[in-house]
Amino acid sequence: MKKGAPKTVDEYFAAVPEPARTTLEKVRAVIRSVVPAETTEVISYQIPMFKYLGGLVAIAAFKEHCSFFPMNAGLIAEFKDELKGYKTAKGTIRFPADQPMPAALIKKFVKARIAQNEARKKKPASPAPTARKRRTS
**Domains by residue range for the chain, with CATH:** 9-116 (3.90.1150.200)
Pick from 71-75, 106-110, 125-129: least confident: 125-129
Please, what is the Cα angle at 62 between 58 and 63, to 5 degrees?
170
Q: What is the pTM of this model?
A: 0.84
DSSP characters over 74-114: HHHHHTGGGGTTSEEETTEEEEETTSPPPHHHHHHHHHHHH
Residue-wise pLDDT for 6-56, tens only, equals 999 999 999 999 999 999 999 999 999 999 999 999 999 999 999 999 999
Do residues 62 and 47 make contact, with C-beta atoms less than 8 angstroms apart?
Answer: no
Amino acid at 68: F
For the segment 103-131, the average pLDDT, to the nearest whole number, is 84
CA-CA-CA-CA torsion for 82, 111, 116, 28, nearest 10 degrees?
Answer: 90
Query: CA-CA distance, 101 to 30, in Å (whole number)?
Result: 10
Backbone angles phi, psi at 131, to 5 degrees: -70, 140
